[in-house]
């Protein structure tokens, strides 16, 4: 019986574990702490492994952004699926999910703010951001349409909802003492109700 010094992993599985480690580092130390060595220690691997699986650290961080964004999208869509067919209930479920786990998780929010800070300097990250938010708005517009909102009003309403949710999410992350999840949810629902009057 021999104990292996390390275990080989499937490339996809290893990439996922590196992405997860990157997200944890971003949440704990911010963007400036997300170095090759820090991430490698967090993932329990050698620094060189990152270059083997990703085209540099920038690519790993971009992949982390994309993955976190997909996690959020998945959680949001799951929230819709868990509720009935009433359009307004579906819209409320979609929005309320932003303030519940796993989206309202402090580590996820911290990861997201760290990534926001990279958008300006890195065009590749900015492109991911635009695509991500276009998707959110598109989903919200579909939900608004199901609620009977007129076509020309949807775009502006979707922007308003996205902005409100982002702002509340941000307050929840940066100043947890000021706002809790229940209050964020109540504020969001009240503001959305106003869009239908």
Partner DNA sequence: TTGCTTGTTGTACGATCGTATAATAAGCTT
Partner DNA sequence: AAGCTTATTATACGATCGTACAACAAGCAA
Q: What does the binding site for its own copies look like in residue numbers (CB under 8 A)?
A: 27-33, 110, 113-122, 126, 129-130, 133-134, 137, 156, 159-160, 162-168, 170-171, 174-175, 177-179, 183, 186-187, 190-191, 194-195, 197
CB nearer to its own copies: give 11 or 176: 176
Helix pair angle (87-96, 181-195), 10° resolution? 140
Least distance between DNA and beta carbon 132 (Å):
23
CA distance 176 to 188: 17
Nearest in space to 18 (alpha carbons), one of 7, 8, 41, 4: 41
- Among DNA, its own copies, none, the one that 20 touches (CB under a kind-dependent 5 to 8 A) is none
The piece of 8-16, 93-101, 109-117, 149-157 that touches DNA (CB under 7 A) is 8-16
| Cα 61 from chain centroid (whole Å) | 13
Query: Which of the 8 DSSP states describes residue 103?
Result: T
Residue 133 near which of DNA, its own copies, none (CB within 5-8 Å, type-dependent): its own copies
**What is the C-alpha separation between 30 and 13, in angstroms, rounded?**
24
Q: How far is the CB of 85 from its own copies (least distance, A)?
A: 27
């Amino acid at each position: 019986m021999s104990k292996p010094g390390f275990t080989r992993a499937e490339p996809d599985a290893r990439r996922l574990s590196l992405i997860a480690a990157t997200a944890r580092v971003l949440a704990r130390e911010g963007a400036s702490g997300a170095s090759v060595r820090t991430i490698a220690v967090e993932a329990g691997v050698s620094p060189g492994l990152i270059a083997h699986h990703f085209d540099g650290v920038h690519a790993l961080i971009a992949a982390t952004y994309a993955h976190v964004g997909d996690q959020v999208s998945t959680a949001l869509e799951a929230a819709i699926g868990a509720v009935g067919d009433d359009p307004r209930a579906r819209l409320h479920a979609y929005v309320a999910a932003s303030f519940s786990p796993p989206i309202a998780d402090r580590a996820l929010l911290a990861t997201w703010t760290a990534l926001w800070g990279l958008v300006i300097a890195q065009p590749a990250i900015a492109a991911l951001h635009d695509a991500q938010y276009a998707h959110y708005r598109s989903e919200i517009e579909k939900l608004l349409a199901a609620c009977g909102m007129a076509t020309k009003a949807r775009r502006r309403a979707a922007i308003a909802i996205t902005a409100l949710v982002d702002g509340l999410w941000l307050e929840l992350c940066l100043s947890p003492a000021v706002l809790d999840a229940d209050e964020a949810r109540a504020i969001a629902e009240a503001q959305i109700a106003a869009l239908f009057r």
